[in-house]
Structures are given as structure tokens and as C-alpha cells.
Structure 1
């Protein structure tokens, strides 16, 4: 990237609060001026949130394909694997361009959902699968809208567009299972538990650890971002967009 980005030390810091919560600091603070537009704390945290979501929802989709007792849950599982593989590729594509450190594992809270569902079978698995995933997708759906309406960074804007389509699709397939208890799910979504930040934060990867890659299914219908239209959308005057790098393969 060379001189294409003027970075502050804050841009390199790992986000302090992710998962289903947001930081209490000045999220609109600019931490880097890039050729695709300014990058704020909430922009950076959003990219990490999308990556972290895939790190637990993608494997949970794989589990649902094996353990789902109903056709609706199996269909929803296919959508999880397909959609998050494409979103993950997009995150891994733009993160190095914006100098964002991505996690390799989800937050302890998110991993707890996976542990819970791994221990369940039959109707209990299907019901909790649909309700937990409807709740979490509903939470990040609201965050996407805020980012899309406020970010001045064209790469983050493009990711928000893709995430909006994917998360809406996933919310819809969860609802189509017929198992969602909307009263309880919406209560949990709007009244999340007060957990310590350590439970909501995906840990930073150890130095030199290979990057985890979520492999698209053979029948994938979702595709990663084509950045050709986003490369100049938020560019600063006088800058030339860098070439689009290939995703890092771990």
C-alpha cells in the first residue's frame, strides 16, 4: 500500500468490544485516512463483526446440515454456509487493504452458542438453532443499517451492502422454519445480557497464525465482493486506487 494510507496507532489496535454489543467510545472517530475514504472505529469494528459472525455461524450451518431434524433447518443451514463463505472472502479481501486485523475465532459468547447447540438433538436443536440465529442476525441487521447510512469508506459500504442482503436472507430462512418464537427472540435481541467485554470480544490471532478460510460449498450461489465499483467511490482527490488483491488463503 505504501503511502496510500495515513494510519494512526489506533487503527492497528484490536477492537475492544464486539459480538452483540458495541463500544462505548467515540465510534465515529477517524482512525485512518485511506484512498477509499476515512475509516472510523465503527467501520473497523463492523468488518471484524462480520468476520466473527462467519466464524461461528458457518460451522453451525455445517452442524445443522448433519443434525437438523426438519427440512427448514437443513435449508437454513445451507444458506448459512453459502452466505458466510462469501462474506468471509469479502472481509479477507478488504481487511488488508484497510490494515484491519481479523480474528480467527469467534467471541466466547458466540462460541458458547455453538457449544450449546452441539449438545442438543432433534426438535430441541432445531428450535434453539432457529431462535438463536434469528436473534443474532436481527442484532447485526440493525448495525448494518447504521454503518451503511453513515460510513464514508467505499469498501466498508460495499461490505455493508453484501452483509445486508446476506443477513436479511438468513433472517428470512430462520423465520421460514416455523420455529421462531418472535416474542422471546425479539426480547433477547433488544435486551441482551450484560456480559463482560471479554465474553463479547473475539481474541486477536497470535502473530503468524495462518488465517482461517471458510470454504464455499460446491453448490455456492453467493459470491464475494467485486470491488471494481467500490474502488473509487470514496477515494480522496488525487489518489489512485490500488489493485484488488486476491484473498489470503490460510
Structure 2
């Protein structure tokens, strides 16, 4: 997979203040030049965002399969597990290629969503499930589009393509439950609460901790990006010359 890679900086562990709303102070700053194109702060933060989303939405999908009381919620739960396991496979494959450290647990805010849904049942669960997930997917949709239209890194671009399809699918299945309160959801989506960065930041994994893997379901229909095929004609053999070191501010 990919051969040698020319990174101009050390390990790109995301900093402690990397939140999931405003993720960096200089999003366009190039932090590494790789054989797949320059990597900016926004690129790195996007990979972390996608990983963190799966770390809470995948278990919520599993909860929905157990607690959902309508066909729509059950179907939406299947899509969460299926889609995020495939996205996670792509994230875990490209992260070491780009020297990005991935979290093993979601942010405190995201874990709060999981705990809320764990404590609920019946109609309350179904309704909150559909509205929380419609709100969070709607919030990330614009971020995916921006990354897709601006990144110069082919690996990040491929992840954004996959994330775009997955997020749109999940928005659609949430709406098909018939439980989404659009006025409330769109208000929460466009007017999020002002939380401290610590609530919005997935903590870095302790040194040596095994990487959490989101296992695809037996009947998976979503597929990860074919990174080997993507990189075969794009420096995949490790023959690309290193790019000049970026100026770090």
C-alpha cells in the first residue's frame, strides 16, 4: 500500500484544541507535503471528524437496531452501521499514509448523544434518534462539500467523495422515518450551542492503545475507497520526489 511517503513534518497528532466545530485557527495552512498532494489543517481535521462521527453513530446504529420501534428507524440504523463501518475503513487506511493520529472515542458532546439515546425507549427514542442524527448529518454536510471542493490531497478528496454519498444517504433515511421536526432540527443545525472546545474534541488515544475497529455488518453494501487502486498511478510506488518543506507559522 503506497510505499514510502515524503512527509515534511513529524507525526500529525491533532492538537488538544482541535474541535469539531471550528477545528483550527489556520485551516488553509499546509502542515505537510505528501506524494498525494499538500495536506492542510482542514484536511487533517476532516479525517479526524469522519473518524469521530463513526465512533458515535456506529454504536447508535447498533442501539437503534435493538430499540427502534418503526421500520424507518430500523432501516436508518442499518444504514448507520453499514455506512460508517465503510467510512471508518477508509479513514484507518489513509490516516497512517498521511501520518494522522485518529481518536478511539468520540468527543464528549457526541458521547452525550449516545448516552441520551441509551437512556430512552419507545416513541421518545425513535423521535430523538431521527432528529439528533438528522441535525448532526446536516451540520457536517456543508463541511464535506467544502473539503471536496478545496482539498489538493487526493486521499482526502476520495474520503470526501465517500463521505458525501454516505452523509446524504443518512440524511435521506432519517427524513424517511417521518419523525424529523424540520423547524427544530434546522434551528439547532444553524444555531448550535456555544460549548467549550473540550466538549467538542475527541481525545487522542493513549500511547500503545489498540485502534478501535468498526466492523462491517455481515450484509454490508457500502464499500471503502479502493486506496490501492487510487494510489497505483499517483505515487503509489513511492517514487515521487519529496516536495519542498512548507513554511510553518
Pair in the same fold by TM > 0.5? yes
**1:16 & 1:232 partners in 2: Cα distance?**
35
Deviations 1:45-69 (A, max 9, x none): 0000000000000000000000001
CA contact (8 A) 1:153 1:234 kept: no
**Counterpart in 1 of 2:60?**
60
Q: CA 1:233/1:168 → structure 2, altered by over 3 Å: closer, same or farther? A: farther
Q: 1:7 deviation in Å?
A: 2.7
CA contact (8 A) 1:58 1:84 kept: yes
1:188 equivalent in alignment to 2:185: no
Gaps of 5+ in 1: 242-250
**Counterpart in 2 of 1:17?**
18
**1:2 & 1:58 partners in 2: Cα distance?**
31
Q: 1:113 deviation in Å?
A: 0.3
**Counterpart in 2 of 1:45?**
45
Matches within 5 A, 1:56-135: 56-135=56-135
Q: 1:22 deviation in Å?
A: 1.8
**Counterpart in 2 of 1:7?**
8
The alignment's TM-score, normalised by the length of structure 1, stands at 0.90
**Runs of 4 or more above 6 Å deviation:** none
**Number of equivalent positions:** 239
The alignment's TM-score, normalised by the length of structure 2, stands at 0.91
Q: CA 1:65/1:2 → structure 2, altered by over 3 Å: closer, same or farther? A: closer
Q: CA 1:8/1:215 → structure 2, altered by over 3 Å: closer, same or farther? A: same
**Counterpart in 2 of 1:203?**
203
**1:184 & 1:119 partners in 2: Cα distance?**
21
Q: 1:4 deviation in Å?
A: 2.5
Q: Secondary structure at the match of 1:202?
A: coil
CA contact (8 A) 2:104 2:205 kept: yes
CA contact (8 A) 1:147 1:157 kept: yes
Q: 1:6 deviation in Å?
A: 2.7
Deviations 1:25-76 (A, max 9, x none): 1100000000000000000000000000000000000000000011100000
CA contact (8 A) 2:24 2:42 kept: no
CA contact (8 A) 2:11 2:100 kept: no
CA contact (8 A) 1:36 1:233 kept: no
Q: CA 1:219/1:95 → structure 2, altered by over 3 Å: closer, same or farther? A: same
**Counterpart in 2 of 1:248?**
none
Gaps of 5+ in 2: 242-249
Matches within 5 A, 1:212-231: 212-231=212-231
**1:216 & 1:2 partners in 2: Cα distance?**
27
CA RMSD of aligned residues (A): 2.0
Q: CA 1:2/1:13 → structure 2, altered by over 3 Å: closer, same or farther? A: farther
Q: 1:5 deviation in Å?
A: 1.8
Moved more, 223-232 or 187-196: 223-232
CA contact (8 A) 2:63 2:118 kept: yes
1:147 equivalent in alignment to 2:147: yes
